[in-house]
Amino acid sequence: MWDYSEKVKDHFFNPRNAGAVAEANAIGEVGSLSCGDALRLTLKVDPTTETILEAGFQTFGCGSAIASSSALTEIVKGLRLDDALKVSNQDIADFLDGLPPEKMHCSVMGREALQAAVANFRGQEWKDDHAEGALICKCFAVDAVLIEETIRANGLRTVEEVANYTKAGGGCSACHEGIEEILVRVMADRGESFDPNAVAGEIKKPRTLLTSLQRVKRIEGLLEEIRPNLRRDRGDVELVEVEGKNIYLKMIGACSGCQMAATTLGGIQQHLVEGLGEFIRVLPAEELSRRTAMGG
């Protein structure tokens, strides 16, 4: 039996905003029948202020999929579209006092439906770009696809490196066999063989060597490397704050509010992780102000 919070149970047994909104002008339909959940989100948006007046959901899915949909509609009602787009799947999970790791994908679906609905309102086409694999690491909810892609992109060789890059395996370690199997497969593809006794590469060393000033300089330097790409799309990025593993960036120009902002941040994160040789998380600067506003 899943360890569902009281909030999840409440939103499942007493869903808010169930059903389609009449005269909806923003509709998002996402999901995957093979994964067993699908969501149709209908919004009524005030065209002048771009404020969400009403939200309704129809969901095919398990208890947490229905609860996540209900939570999503509660969160976005009354928000302006730009603010609604900032709602992350973690926000949805937090609203419900957490979800079991196996169920985090239910909250991802909520966020995607929202993006799709906003795109629909703005006359754009929304494309889903995330593939999901079997859940490997249950402590940090990391799936096989992410692990495999990270290993490929960074030429990883050890379980420890995988943990540094993705967090997978960094908790209870029960999934190390599964991670090793992915390593064996991906390394075979590039003509190497997995060595269980290999020590993690240089990846970890710089972490202890860099002072915080050097680290910030390094981050600046790495951002400089990707600026040309952003400028080509008439955008830019600015370093706002470095707080341990959290690096806050502000997207400027064409990049701000851009549909692809999240993807771009993901790409930047990848670049920084590689360059710094440690696991960091890139967050939009708005997160910082939000965290401060909430008192921490």
Partner 1 sequence: MNEGIYLDNNATTQVAPEVVAEMLPFFTEQYGNPSSMHQFGDRVGRAIKQARQQVQALLGAEQDSEIIFTSCGTESDSTAILSALKAQPERKEIITTVVEHPAVLALCEQLEKEGHIVHHLKVDKKGRLDINEYYRLLSDKVAIVSVMWANNETGTLFPVEEMAEMARSAGVLFHTDAVQAVGKLPINLKETSIDMLSLSGHKLHAPKGIGVLYLRRGVRYRPLLRGGHQERGRRAGTENSASIVALGKACEMAMAAMEYEKSSVKALRDHLEKGILSRIPHCFVTGDPGNRLPNTCNMAFEYVEGESILLMLNKLGIAASSGSACTSGSLEPSHVMRAMGIPYTAAHGSVRFSLSRYNSREEIDRVIEALPPILARLRKLSPYWQGDGPVAESEGAFAPTYA
Is-catalytic flag, 175?
A: no
Is-catalytic flag, 106?
A: yes
Give the long-range contacts of residues 120-127, CB within 8 A, separation 24 or more.
120/26, 120/27, 120/28, 121/25, 121/26, 121/43, 121/45, 121/81, 124/259, 126/28, 126/259
Selecting among 62, 106, 139, 175, the annotated active-site residue is 106
Q: How many CB atoms lie within 10 A of CB 241?
A: 14
How many residues form the binding site for partner 1 (CB under 8 A)? 42
Residue from 126, 162, 179, 283 touching partner 1 (CB under 8 A): that is 126
State the virtual CA torsion across 51, 71, 142, 118 in degrees, nearest 10: -20
Contact status: 189 vs partner 1 (CB under 8 A)? no
Binding mask 55-74 for partner 1 (x = CB under 8 A): ---xxxxxxxxx--------
Q: Could you tell me which residues come within 8 angstroms of residue 228 by beta carbon, excluding any fewer than 6 positions away?
A: none
Contact status: 12 vs partner 1 (CB under 8 A)? yes
Sole window of 98-106, 149-157, 199-207, 258-266 interacting with partner 1 (rule: CB under 8 A) = 98-106
By CB under 8 A, the residues from 216 to 275 that bind partner 1 are none
SS3 at position 2: coil
Dist CA 55 CA 24 (whole Å): 8
Catalytic residues: 35, 106
Positions in the binding site for partner 1 (CB under 8 A):
12-13, 15, 18-19, 29-40, 58-66, 100, 102-103, 105, 109, 112, 116, 126-128, 130-135
